[in-house]
Amino acid sequence: METPIKSVVLPGGIRLPYVDHGDRAGVPVLFLHGTSDSWRSFENVLPELPGWMHGIALTQRGHGDADRPATGYRTEDFADDVAALMDALGIEKAIVVGHSMGGSIAQRFAIDHPERLLGLVLIGARASWHRHPGVLALGEAVAAMTDPVDPDFVREFQLSTLARPVSPAYLETVVAESLKLPAHVWRAAFAECVFQADHTAVLGRIATPTLLMCGGQDDFARDEQETLLAGIPGASLLVYPDAGHALHWEEPQRFAADLAAFVARAAARDLAAA
């Protein structure tokens, strides 16, 4: 059965698609994808979640079939979109899950909107990206990008996030989603969000239960996990030894089970503190 795609128009007029799964009265869990992805980054995770969770996978500005403003691609802009989406859906607090660039946005959200969080999950995340040699090289290629975006570049980019194969059909899906981005969104996402975001000095301001998840073969983020673990009070780290940067693509069932266990603990802690 085809997944119904909904949308919300934020106060600034930007339309963002999203899909949801589970009990709408359940614990809200918002999923934020990485650079060039869309809600489909979590397409195989949502059906694996327990029914008591309300999973909401968002397509962020500029990505997928969302509106593509000419400007506004800082982590602060994306984080404010999340708060506006929660307002539009009547969600007071949520678990926020961010992958890669989405992890940077989730950190920003935790710093700027701490009262809206039940917990934080960072998948393949970094406190900063601009010192990583591989990301710097990728950024140089993106800075020179023009339309039409090269499909071979996109395919190699997505393959670089994997340590093990995913189904060919799913790989084609994520490549097709990435090809929806015009060159100016690729450039802006890297320049304004990926390279400008550096939360190293303010990680201590994240005051919510936090789970770090990283693949043992993640060449983009593995080296940064100790920085996040030391900087975020009370954070815990879960490593998938054989997985790459997109561990939730490679092991969606395991990811969903580990996420559900964390969400249950965070929700119970919030209820006890109420």
pLDDT digits (tens, 9 = 90+) for 189-235: 999 999 998 999 999 999 999 999 999 999 999 999 999 999 999 99
| Sheet of strand 236-240, all strands in order from the earlier edge strand to the far edge | 6-9, 15-22, 53-58, 27-32, 94-99, 117-123, 210-215, 236-240
pLDDT of residue 131: 86
In a domain? residue 83: yes
In the chain, the number of structural domains is 1
- Residue 113 Cα to chain centre, angstroms: 17
Measured in residues, the chain has a length of 274
pLDDT tens track for 244-259: 999 999 999 999 999 9
CATH of residue 200: 3.40.50.1820
Tokens 């490679």, located at residue: 250
pLDDT of residue 273: 80
Host domain of residue 25:
6-273
In a domain? residue 78: yes
Quote the pTM value.
Answer: 0.97
Of 266, 138, 232, give the one whose Cα is nearest residue 191. Answer: 138
In a domain? residue 213: yes
